[in-house]
Amino acid sequence: MIKIVNIRFRSAGKVYSFEAGKTELKKGDYCVVETVRGKELGKVVSGPEERNEEDFNTPLRSVIRKATEEDLESDRANRVREKEAIKICKEKIHKHGLEMKLIDAEYTFDNSKLLFYFTADGRIDFRDLVKDLAGVFRTRIELRQIGVRDETKILGGYGPCGRELCCHSYLSDFVPVSIKMAKEQDLSLNPTKISGVCGRLMCCLKNEEETYEYLNKKLPGVGDLVADPYGEEGTVAEVNVLRQRIKVLFETEDEKEIREYPAEEITFKAKRKKGQNQQKKQREVPEEPLPKELLEEELPGESALDEGSGNKGPEGKEHRGGNRNNKKNRRNRSKGKSGTGDERKQS
């Protein structure tokens, strides 16, 4: 058993585990730890707690010491120096004529490295820029290209709801978000309504997804045939998921009547009719086509902001490349050949 603490290095950043050893720490304390980037100052967000060493794939790094007043003052000085570094870097970018947007700068605690975060449409050759910056700051320079979601996480802002952005205030990781979640919650598929400040699907679509999935399982769909408490059959005209109430359309000769019932009083009689199901699908099509990035599922991935900051837990990565020999076999078969691709011609 080892005593560990969970530490965060930036606001709403990832949480990493470190071995506390004999250092007395509690939630809210600042401490100096050893990471792959050198010494870093972090804040304890939970712990200490006893854990088995087998719970971690790699040996944990240790806490060096509890932060002193000098350590905190040094960190504040670094924050001031970062603002000056941003100003100088922007001037150098303009001087070299590079098509890149500088987002933020970050000094490591021991000033052994200065990181610049930027966004760009494509690959940028910034080798001359790095040499220029190294000559000015006299330390190791690293430029790291990030995506639009990381950019929004750093800069912050306010969403359509009027609250501070989730990714900037409390989200440690980007959760998977897909257009299916908006459909499940019966939201408008207008891109301006379901997109966040970053231009991607809003992270908050995930917040109520499980609740809507649970509630929708107990409700019929629009167009389903149902029966009221007296056995009279009708067609579902409207469903209120949160209130769990259903409006049913009854047709008698030339008259139509809509009645509203609680979900528990309705009996399901059949699945959706094909014609009505097709009409519902047509109503779901937005007036304007959705951008490609909204139709594709948003995967959490590996954020460039927290890369190499400490001890990470197990993260499985899907291998999409396939076996090279299998690809050769398919090409050979299409040409009428056979073999593994590694076989040599025999004379």
Mean predicted confidence (pLDDT) in 310-323: 38
Mean pLDDT of 314-328: 40
Query: Tell me, what's the pLDDT at 291?
Result: 59
The per-residue pLDDT for 293 is: 54
Residues 6+ apart with CB under 8 A from 159: 165, 166, 196, 197, 202, 204
296 within some domain = no
Same domain? 85 vs 32: no
pLDDT tens string 14-60: 888 898 888 888 898 999 998 888 889 999 998 788 888 777 888 88
For residue 278, being part of any structural domain is answered with no
Residue 346 has pLDDT above 50, yes or no: no
**Span of 17-26, 29-38, 177-186, 298-307 with lowest mean pLDDT:** 298-307
**Structural domain contains residue 129:** yes
User: From the CA atom positions of the chain, what is the Rg in Å?
Assistant: 28
Cβ atoms of 236 and 223 within 8 Å: the answer is yes
pLDDT at 301: 47
Write down which residue in 146, 179, 209 finishes a domain. Answer: 146
Whether 261 is in a domain gets the answer yes
> Going edge to edge, which strands form the sheet with 2-8?
15-19, 2-8, 38-51, 30-35, 63-66
> Of 59-63, 71-75, 235-239, 284-288, where does mean pLDDT reach its minimum?
284-288
pLDDT classification of 306: cutoffs 50, 70, 90: low
pLDDT at 22: 84
Residue 342 lies in a domain: no
Over residues 245-280, the pLDDT tens digits come to 999 999 887 888 899 999 888 887 534 444 444 444
Q: How confident is the model at residue 131 (pLDDT cuts 50, 70, 90)?
A: very high
Can you give the residue range of the structural domain that contains 135?
74-146
pLDDT value of position 97: 92
Q: Is 289 exposed, middle or buried (0-12, 13-18, 19+ CB in 10 A)?
A: exposed
Instruction: Quote the pLDDT of residue 345.
Output: 38
CB atoms within 10 A of CB 268: 13
Residues 80, 35 share a domain: no
- One domain for residues 9 and 50: yes
Is residue 18 domain-resident? yes
Residue 19 falls inside a structural domain: yes
- Is residue 188 predicted with pLDDT exceeding 50? yes
User: Are 36 and 53 found together in one domain?
Assistant: yes
Please report the pLDDT score of residue 99 as a whole number.
92
Percent of the chain with pLDDT over 90: 33
Q: Are residues 84 and 128 in the same domain?
A: yes
Query: Can you give the pLDDT at residue 221?
Result: 85
What pLDDT is recorded for position 76? 93
CB 313, CB 57: distance < 8 Å:
yes
Same domain, 129 and 101: yes
Residues 60-105 have pLDDT tens digits of: 888 999 999 999 999 999 999 999 999 999 999 999 999 999 999 9
Shared-domain flag, residues 19 and 63: yes
Q: Are strands 113-119 and 140-145 parallel, antiparallel or unpaired?
A: parallel
Number of domains in the chain: 3
Name the residue with higher pLDDT: 125 or 335. Answer: 125
CATH code of residue 120: 3.30.300
Of 218, 216, 252, 222, residue with least CA distance to 235:
222
Residues 172-187, mean pLDDT to the nearest whole number = 88
pLDDT greater at residue 311 or residue 189: 189
Given 90, 116, 146, the domain boundary residue is 146
List the structure tokens of 204. 């908050």
Exposure on the CB side of residue 131, measured as CA atoms within 13 A:
5
DSSP code, position 43: E
Q: How many C-beta neighbours within 10 Å does residue 232 have?
A: 12
pLDDT band at 316 (very low <50, low <70, confident <90, very high): very low
pLDDT of residue 310: 44
- Domain termination residue (choose one: 129, 146, 163): 146
Q: Kindly state whether residues 88 and 122 are assigned to the same domain.
A: yes
Write down the mean pLDDT value for the chain.
79
DSSP character string of 81-133: HHHHHHHHHHHHHHHHT---EEEEEEE-TTSSEEEEEEE-SS----HHHHHHH
User: Is 112 a domain residue?
Assistant: yes
Say yes or no: 109 and 138 in one domain.
yes
CA dist., res. 118 & res. 34, Å (int): 26
Residue with tokens 């987002």: 103
pLDDT category at 342 given cuts 50, 70, 90 is very low
Is the alpha carbon torsion for 137, 142, 143, 146 positive or negative? negative
Q: What span, in angstroms and rounded, lies between the C-alpha atoms of 200 and 298?
A: 8
Quote the pLDDT of residue 339. Answer: 42
Question: What CATH number is given to the structural domain containing 232?
Answer: 2.30.30
pLDDT band for position 132 (cuts 50, 70, 90): very high
3-state secondary structure of 17: strand
Same domain, 99 and 130: yes
Whether omega for the bond prior to residue 48 falls within 30 degrees of 0, making it cis, is yes
Sign of CA dihedral 309, 312, 315, 320: positive
Shared-domain flag, residues 7 and 63: yes
Mind listing the pLDDT tens digit for each residue in 190-227? 888 899 999 999 999 998 899 998 898 888 888 888 88
**Same domain membership, residue 85 and residue 40:** no
Of the candidates 159, 172, 239, 258, the one whose C-alpha atom is nearest the C-alpha of residue 204 is 159
